[in-house]
Structure 1
């Protein structure tokens, strides 16, 4: 969600939002001409009650446990839709991300509210937004990689990384299963019994839905796939848009200048994480607990107490300046208190 207010003004709005409940929640009839949200039971995924969830702060990153696995198994795209549904119910229509804007405009229950305010949200809404937001930030690098691989596997990708086994007679065979007479020595071993080795081809062959396609190309990915891959990419510490062609080279995708047009399609939450990823790649330590938890979950992050901004490349500095300019354009960068008191962030 866009926020064009000053940081001070937004902070004041937060205080009001946290103590104010909608008239309906207080048992009062809405004023004549007031916006009336769609009935809760007409909105898929929306809960008018506080979801039975708890946040486990001791874990890095913090996790969310819910009864009935309400949030389990959902992709980043599905979680973003679920969280933003809460805002959309009250008529928020200012989503910068085109795919989110298009999604809600197609919903039969959605109607824009030009007078949208956070005060329309109930206490249950705010708590549920926070649960979902923490869930979105809770994935480890390993989980994100598996999510990414699964998207490609469902489109038929083949990695050609089946295990290789050296046999005692000197031959080498490729097989997901360990042969009867593999070489005992570990030296030169590239099989499943070698530490750190993992075959995606072998893993997905165990899934009944997997249909390997030797002619796989990115053209086979759906629009939803590309959105999820963009979200995953930025969580992992690289950059890809939610709708464009996927970039190669993982973190190397941040070695180019990102356009303002691309940045304006990101939320303030996205922008803060992206800006600090540029610092994290050079080893910067962070005071923010949220940023600490996120980057500690990434294998590429090496915190260096001797870090200085002199390590930033000219391209890093250019991208950081561009990101900061877009953050300022939409109300200023988020702080931890903004992030944690959702919906005090821009919703997207």
Structure 2
């Protein structure tokens, strides 16, 4: 269980301290040009840099050629995501030629004919089905934050005039995938919110990545209730929920066929989804949707019964509590 405790330790560190980028490595400037072709960039948490056109800040010329010009493939750590900012897109104003999705994907380059632009998408299935995006001159200053840590950025060239002033500068920063939720119990009404697995309900990728959710009741004597409304987890995946932020916090490993409700003993819950690996692209699991609520009481009198299993119901009618030793991991 060493890996699980390492993940929790990372979540604790991120929760206690604001994330800073100066701890990462400045990757400098990566040139995307006909000469560099396809390049792979590996990066870790906090790393940052720029992707620019060949010869930047000088203008480039395609010699009248069009189509896929170059590509940068960014691969980052399993607990990371990438934020991309389009700092400079000097392509000249033009309207891309009308095309269908199947035509634009001829040869697998996804370039739209007619205009210089940047095409971005996430590689892993099913994210690759929903993340294809084109960025033209009018998209300067836009940004994109990835779901996963595996993306491709492509420069697509149009057959425009050689005199056009064309260049681009794209910034990237590697971020942690931890999501944090904080709050207090209101005197009246509901106190909490909703969290979901990545790309819910269209499905998450079984690409060996990890997603962490930290839910903290700002009342140090308070508790957190967690109820899963939707639960469709792949057999390759593992979902663990830790009670507290200490390095020896008790945890439960949630079963694949039983969606639970949980009540913390301490003021913070840490949920860790490890997707696992699979090369099967025929079917996707929706993931989960959960409601969290900040509570003052250590008891949950109206706790819902949410287990889908009637053959082997969980003790207490499909619910879990961290106070029971039979639910804790080692």
TM-score tier by shorter-chain length is under 0.3
Instruction: Judging by fraction of residues, say which structure has more strand.
Output: 2
Larger relative contact order, structure 1 or 2 (CA cutoff 8 Å, min sep 6) = 1
Give TM-score scaled by structure 2 length. 0.25
Instruction: Judging by fraction of residues, say which structure has more helix.
Output: 1
